[in-house]
């Protein structure tokens, strides 16, 4: 890819980038240089998405749900723009600090944290104002046992859940947070025990859009009321993120300005419904997917074409170990051919299948694609969130490479694993 020629620019900031908006030639150049399967991330699009979130929520504290994509350039890009890091595990805390997030902009929001995670987070010498979130009285006790005396946030279960799939709807799931009717008591106990209680946190779920927005609004309203009922002065009330992006080609883009307005209105309504007549704590949001989903594509090569009476099975070198969302959630990702002669080919019904011996290992069913041939390059859209993050070595398959592009210039983020990498820890255990 010469001097970024043909690569999308950030001069405009559309509400969503569709797979059809990615130019084919630069993607072919990336595949030629780095091989497939390959995740390609556009850091300029991450910056543009950050700007749109800031514009919609100008007065809110903005953090990034790190679990969506933890690659170092993405984290550095967001840290350099003053975004906070919302971390679900000790490893995400470590990555965020290493990428340059100031400790006071890091929030550890774990669910049932393992002992070794708490040991690491509570024992950080450079904690520097990092916020630790607890979702159970037992977790509060475990934190106290480790001598943590820093800033604390309490996660609430508001009894309202939403999201694109039942597996990611968290707001009403007992696993997540202190039950709403006990939340004020737990918050006051935390303050009474000497913790610096700075915030409350809740999250409805992931991929929220359309009808789910009413549930999000209700969650925000309840959190506003709860904040007014807590006697101690709070710095913030975090209402999660989970803002959806359109995965299907004809899905409308999320009206982020309308979501922001509804969020502010619901928060103010909840606060007025409480006992406190002072100004409410700062509203905080923690999107993940919205920052990065449409900033990434997955490139994959056709290795087998098999016509059958039902469909044409297009076998590719990426599968559920590369991108698990279709297998795990039944998620839809747009798929597009990138060959120069693609526009001249006849469209045929296809199933795009991976190399894993599982019926679920299908990236897309019933797709109309240009008549496929072995060696063709395909692109899978909206792969920037929960793509590489959820890849695995199932079937002892090496994980793919990742490349980041900024101002049209690519750089390798994660090299492609080898077969030796897959068995490295076993070999090291045998040698120890």
Shared domain check, 182 and 132: yes
**Which structural domain, as residue segments, surrounds residue 82?**
43-291
Q: Does residue 206 form part of some domain?
A: yes
Shared domain check, 334 and 210: no
Contact, 96 vs 77, CB < 8 A? Answer: no
pLDDT for 187 equals: 86
Choose the final residue of a domain: 250, 274, 291.
291
Please indicate if the annotation marks 102 as binding a ligand. no
Shared domain check, 173 and 75: yes
User: Which residues are annotated as catalytic?
Assistant: 357
Shared domain check, 303 and 184: no
pTM score of the predicted model: 0.92
Which tokens in the block code for residue 358? Answer: 């599982």
Which tokens in the block code for residue 387? Answer: 């793509």
pLDDT in tens, the chain (432 residues): 544 557 776 556 788 899 999 999 999 999 999 999 999 999 999 999 999 999 999 999 999 999 999 999 999 999 999 999 999 999 999 999 999 999 999 999 989 999 999 999 999 876 678 999 999 999 999 999 998 888 999 999 887 644 443 433 444 567 778 988 888 888 888 888 888 999 999 987 655 555 557 888 888 999 999 998 886 679 999 998 888 899 999 999 989 999 999 999 999 999 986 656 688 999 999 999 999 999 999 999 999 999 999 999 999 999 999 999 999 999 999 999 999 998 899 999 999 999 999 999 999 999 999 999 999 999 999 999 999 999 999 999 999 999 999 999 999 999 999 999 999 999 888 887
Please indicate if the annotation marks 319 as binding a ligand. no
Please indicate if the annotation marks 193 as binding a ligand. no
Which distant-in-sequence residues (6+ apart) come within 8 Å of 394 by Cβ?
A: 320, 321, 356
Which tokens in the block code for residue 9? Answer: 């620019």
Choose the final residue of a domain: 237, 261, 291.
291
Q: Does residue 190 form part of some domain?
A: yes
Q: Does residue 309 form part of some domain?
A: yes
Which tokens in the block code for residue 254? Answer: 């999320």
Shared domain check, 299 and 234: no
A 10 A CB-CB count for 167 gives: 13
Total of domains in the chain: 2
Q: Does residue 299 form part of some domain?
A: yes
- CA torsion 62-67-69-73 (nearest 10°) is 60
pLDDT for 218 equals: 87
Q: Does residue 432 form part of some domain?
A: no
Shared domain check, 287 and 222: yes
pLDDT for 210 equals: 55
Q: What is the CATH number of the domain that holds 380?
A: 2.40.37.10
Q: Does residue 57 form part of some domain?
A: yes
Please indicate if the annotation marks 325 as binding a ligand. yes
Q: Does residue 429 form part of some domain?
A: no
Shared domain check, 228 and 322: no
Q: What is the CATH number of the domain that holds 142?
A: 3.20.20.10
Q: How far apart are CA 204 and CA 170, in angstroms?
A: 5
Helices (H), 236-305: 256-272, 289-292
Q: Does residue 308 form part of some domain?
A: yes
Please indicate if the annotation marks 329 as binding a ligand. yes
Please indicate if the annotation marks 309 as binding a ligand. no
Contact, 285 vs 240, CB < 8 A? Answer: yes
């Amino acid at each position: 890819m010469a001097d970024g020629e043909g690569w999308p620019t950030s001069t405009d900031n559309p509400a969503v980038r569709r797979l059809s908006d990615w130019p084919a030639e630069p993607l072919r150049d990336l595949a030629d240089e780095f091989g497939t399967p390959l995740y390609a991330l556009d850091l300029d699009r991450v910056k543009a998405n950050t700007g749109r979130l800031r514009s919609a929520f100008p007065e809110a504290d903005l953090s990034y749900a790190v679990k969506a994509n933890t690659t170092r350039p993405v984290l550095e890009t967001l840290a350099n723009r003053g975004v906070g890091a919302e971390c679900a595990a000790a490893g995400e805390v470590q990555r965020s600090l290493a990428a340059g997030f100031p400790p006071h902009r890091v929030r550890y929001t774990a669910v049932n944290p393992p002992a070794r995670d708490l040991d690491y987070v509570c024992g950080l010498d450079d904690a520097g104002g990092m916020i630790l979130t607890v979702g159970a009285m037992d977790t509060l006790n475990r934190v106290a046992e480790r001598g943590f005396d820093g800033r604390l946030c309490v996660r609430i279960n508001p009894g309202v859940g939403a999201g694109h799939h039942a597996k990611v709807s968290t707001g009403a799931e007992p696993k997540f947070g202190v039950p709403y009717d006990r939340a004020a008591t737990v918050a006051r106990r935390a303050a009474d025990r000497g913790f610096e209680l700075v915030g409350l946190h809740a999250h409805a779920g992931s991929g929220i859009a359309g009808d789910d927005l009413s549930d999000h609004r209700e969650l925000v309203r309840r959190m506003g009321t709860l904040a007014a009922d807590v006697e101690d002065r709070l710095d913030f009330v975090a209402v999660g993120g989970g803002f959806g992006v359109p995965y299907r080609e004809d899905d409308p883009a999320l009206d982020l300005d309308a979501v922001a307005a509804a969020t502010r209105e619901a928060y103010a309504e909840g606060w007025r419904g409480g006992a406190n007549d002072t100004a409410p704590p700062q509203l905080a949001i923690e999107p993940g997917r919205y920052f990065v989903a449409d900033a990434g594509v997955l490139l994959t090569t056709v290795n087998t074409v098999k016509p059958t009476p039902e469909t044409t099975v297009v076998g590719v070198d990426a599968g559920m170990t590369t991108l698990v969302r279709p297998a795990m959630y039944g998620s839809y990702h747009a798929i597009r051919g990138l060959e120069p002669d693609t526009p001249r080919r006849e469209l045929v019904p296809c199933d795009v299948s991976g190399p894993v011996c599982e019926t679920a290992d299908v990236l897309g069913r019933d797709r109309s694609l240009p008549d496929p041939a072995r060696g063709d390059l395909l692109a899978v859209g909206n792969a920037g969130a929960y793509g590489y993050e959820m890849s695995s070595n199932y079937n002892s398959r090496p994980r793919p490479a990742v490349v980041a592009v900024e101002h049209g210039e690519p750089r390798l983020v994660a090299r492609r694993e080898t077969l030796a990498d897959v068995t490295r820890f076993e070999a090291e255990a045998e040698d120890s």
